[in-house]
Amino acid sequence: MTPQALSSPNVHQALQSASAHFLNLVEIGILKTFIDFKVFDLIPDEDDISISELAARVGCEEPLLERFSNYLVAVQILDSPATGRLTHTARSLVYRSGEIPAGFIVHVYTFFLRPMACWSAYFEKNGLAEPKEAHSIPLGIATGHPDLDLYGILDAEPNLAKLFNRAQAGSAGIHSLKGVYDFNWMHGVLGQSGERPVIVDMGGGSGLALRDILVDNAFIPSERCFVFDLPQAINETKSVLNEGLHSVQLISGTMFDTLPQSVMGALVYQFRRVLSDFLDDAIAEALKRVREACASDSRVLVVEELLHRNQSTFSIAQDISVFNFGGKRRSEDAFTKLATQAGFNVNALFEDPATGFSVIELVPT
């Protein structure tokens, strides 16, 4: 490139735009490292600290800590009141352990950036195409398990499974059904249903989504509600069981096999932000298994962010991210077709304009 070309305003602007992507990658790499080593936790909340003292607390090399900190100061995530000293800002406090933004950064790095770095290898093998098989996905290449599907990878990588389940738990409260879906229709049925299962949260993980329903609908008997998930997820839930879930029943299994007798004939089966992780064939299979378990008056709730016109950039990015698992976001029409294959009709659609997610209510045909 000639000096004249470099000085061109258009080229300079284009380079600035391209450089912004580079800077974003540098930033997320440093944030992930600081979160992993609890650097943000070790900076006093309301006072400054020297880089040398912070390095001693972290147990790291001072020169590296200084280099990484310099970047975060430059982008105003951290502040430096004096040379060689650091202090928190409002932007850095949210990256301490246990904060949702910190978990989000770790999740994006682990489940998006790592597999994204393997896209070239994936496309060289499969062509420029979406995954056609659940066991041939970018995440598998990134984790050294090129022949496993998402849940096979999580079984093989317990630490990865914990991160995945924590992210699912962290998002449970973001898509509340309060004010979106009305469970009051159950009043007339509960008194007639004896010991019949009431709600089965399919792939319910932490159970927090079910807990929110029970909190908002106190008339629903919690002892007749179930969280159904893979054994590893259920064991994790038992180890950190929320106090609002002590009477809820936790059942392990896979939604691709015949469901246990204990959850047959439930009033409601809920798939909450679960189905987007899977290929169409797997979704149809999971819905067929639930259809087998349904009574004539059962209802199935599919809670997802549906694709539609005027989609937000963030929502589109989420669709790209689940590509790494072999999943995808789908439209109402796409879910309708899958439901029809499994023996359901769409009974109603409820939308939350504030968050962009929807509840598709299915009933047996």
Q: Which pLDDT band, with edges at 50, 70 and 90, does 164 fall under? A: confident
- Output the pLDDT for position 239: 85
Fold match, 3-93 / 175-309+327-364 = no
Judge whether residue 8 has pLDDT over 80. no
pTM: 0.84
Q: In the predicted model, is pLDDT for residue 1 greater than 70? A: no
Say what the pLDDT of residue 194 is. 79
Read off the pLDDT band of 167 (50, 70, 90): confident
Longest C-alpha distance within the chain, in Å?
82
Provide the CB-side half-sphere exposure for 48 (13 A, CA). Answer: 13
Fold of 3-93: Arc Repressor Mutant, subunit A (1.10.10)
CB 272 within 8 A of CB 301: yes
Confidence at 312, pLDDT banded by 50, 70, 90: confident
Q: Kindly list the domain boundaries of the chain, sorted by start residue.
A: 3-93, 100-169, 175-309+327-364
- Say which DSSP state 243 is in: G
pLDDT category, 70, cuts 50, 70, 90?
Answer: very high
CA distance 324 to 298: 33
Q: How many helices (H) and strands (E) does the chain have?
A: 18, 10
**Residues 249-302: tens digit of each pLDDT:** 999 999 999 999 999 999 999 999 999 999 999 999 999 999 999 999 999 999
Please enumerate in sequence order all residues whose Cβ is within 8 A of that of 19, keeping only pairs 6 or more positions apart, or say none: none
324/170: higher pLDDT: 324
Q: What is the mean pLDDT of the chain?
A: 93
Beta bridge partners of 301: 270, 361
**Burial class of residue 363 in the structure, from the number of CB atoms within 10 Å of its CB (0-12 exposed, 13-18 middle, 19+ buried):** middle
Instruction: State residue 73's pLDDT score.
Output: 99
The pLDDT of residue 39 is above 90: yes
Q: Is the pLDDT of residue 25 over 60?
A: yes
* 3-state class (DSSP) for residue 66: helix
The CATH code of domain 175-309+327-364 reads 3.40.50.150
Contact residues for 247 (Cβ-Cβ < 8 A; gap 6+)? 222, 223
**pLDDT band per the 50, 70, 90 thresholds, residue 172:** low
Helices (H), the chain: 3-7, 9-36, 39-42, 51-58, 62-74, 90-93, 100-108, 114-116, 119-126, 138-143, 150-156, 158-170, 187-190, 208-216, 231-239, 280-293, 313-322, 332-342
Q: Given a cut of 90, is residue 315 above it in pLDDT?
A: no
Instruction: Judge whether 40 and 58 are in contact, CB under 8 Å.
Output: no
